[in-house]
Amino acid sequence: MTDESTGSTESATAGDDTAAPPRRRRLRLLISVASVVLLLDVVTKVLAVRLLTPQQPVSIIGDTVTWTLVRNSGAAFSMGTSYTWVLTLVASAVVVGIIWMGRRLVSPWWALGLGMILGGALGNLVDRFFRSPGPLRGHVVDFLSIGWWPVFNVADPAVVGGAILLVALSLFGFDFDTEGRRQPDRASDTEGRRQPDRASDTEGRRQPDRASDTEEPERTTAGPVTEADTERD
């Protein structure tokens, strides 16, 4: 009994050690992607504030693509401007949730998507906490305008792009805690199929007549009565 329990414990420990390295690599990937997005967002915002004048567009491609410095009190792409502090709390909860999920990550694609969302959320949270008019109510710096689309920054497309990637992964059967596609449940697949009825299958087949089959050899053994047998009597 002791040997069996020891063996099972060792196998479980070996399984955990095998699963640990991929999770650590995925966590490093998530942190790396988030760090790149956060760095780009912070640097571009600092440059935009220093080099651009509010509400004075600088042309990049005619009037279609311009540098336009605005202060955004809402969410991504200037949505929800009346709920600044609520958006700050929601973004903080998203960051905490991603960090919690990061410890269980196995899929590299989920690590990429969550890293994009984490970096973008952190980039906008920096503005929420450290820019005017004050903590939790700070306005986010936006500086890129394309056509009719609302002015945005680096963090906005990172958050939206990461969210779209995660939705696509879920639709195509890629889970965050497994590598590759989700496998179908073999047990339910077997239960769903109709199994042949052994009893009816046996009854449907014609069984040999055991009685007649036994009598036949006896008659053959007895054979016809010969004249030699009669004279002997």
Tell me the β-bridge partners of 152: 144
Greatest CA separation found in the chain? 140
Identify whether 201 is a catalytic site residue: no
Cβ atoms within 10 A of the Cβ of 97, count?
Answer: 13
CA terminus-to-terminus distance, the chain: 77
Task: Select which of 142, 175, 185, 197 is catalytic.
Answer: 142
Amino acid symbol at 212: S
Q: Which long-range contacts (CB under 8 A, 24 or more apart) does 39-42 make?
A: 40/154, 41/119, 41/120, 41/123, 41/124, 41/153, 41/154, 41/155, 41/158, 42/123, 42/126
Task: Select which of 156, 209, 213, 233 is catalytic.
Answer: 156
Amino acid symbol at 61: I
| Dist. CA 100–CA 104, nearest whole Å | 8
Identify whether 197 is a catalytic site residue: no
Catalytic residues: 142, 156
